[in-house]
Amino acid sequence: MFKMKSCKLWLRGSFFVIVLVLIYLPLIIVVLVSFNGSSTRGNIVLDFGNVLNPNPDAKSAYLRLGEADFAIPLLNSVIIGLITVIVSIPIAIMTAFALLRSRQWLNKTVFGIANFSLATPDIITGISLVLLFANTWLSFNQQLGFFTIISSHISFSVPYALVLIYPKMQKLNRNLILASQDLGYSPIATFFHITLPYLLPSILSAILVVFATSFDDYVITSLVQGSVKTVASELYSFRKGIKAWAIAFGTILILVSILAVLLVTLHKYLRFKHKEMLRVKQWKNS
């Protein structure tokens, strides 16, 4: 019996370790390879031996990052992502408010449509958007570009934000809103003093997901981008070898993501400790 339990625990632990390795090993490889030199064409040298014994004559991938002409695609991606966030999040919040006060059948219908749009393949979404722009935007002698990219990103980002925000809003105690109104607060003041602080964790999660999805999207963007270049389109345009600057840029993004996770974890820990200290003080005072 004891051996059976030990075997189950070992299998569970092994499965957990295997999953972690499959998730994080590619990221570790990217970080290690980023310290390799680059070829004369600017491609990264995919040789793990160069990590320990780098070629002094080979130019560093991080130096290639400074030489690469990706500043404009990076700026375009950031601008598109920020505008997508600024437009998508308020739309998702207003939709969540409307669903909260509507009938149950309408809630299920709209929320089901949002989930269905998340499950729709990007290529199908991209083709449908191209057909839409061909019969609307392009018919006015306009070109594919920032407007079509941002419109497309908003169309697939709103469901992500809605799925993250609406479940949290469903748990909101409506008595708090009624009490705020009884105290003389206007609906706008109630929103900023009660609803918004309550929804803030979900809104922040939605902002991160929407920006990351917009920044990373290639399939839909490639169909509606016209002459506008983004980081994703530049990365997918490689034909012969992987550019060294792309590996260096990916390593920087990985480190920034790790730092962000650590800061969020530290913030949660400090908030928890602060609440514990307040509880101890209240217990002593009582």
CB 220 within 8 A of CB 150: no
Those residues of the chain that have pLDDT short of 50 are 57
Measured between alpha carbons, how far is 26 from 117 in angstroms, rounded to an integer?
A: 29
What pLDDT does residue 3 have?
A: 64
CATH of domain 70-241: 1.10.3720.10
Model pLDDT, residue 254: 86
Q: What pLDDT score does 266 carry?
A: 87
Which residues lie closer than 8 Å to 211 by C-beta, 6 or more apart? 81, 82, 84, 85
Distance (Å) of CA 267 to CA 103, 199, 255: 38, 17, 18
pLDDT given for residue 157 in this prediction = 92
Domain boundaries of the chain, sorted by first residue: 1-68+243-286, 70-241
Q: What is the pTM of this model?
A: 0.78
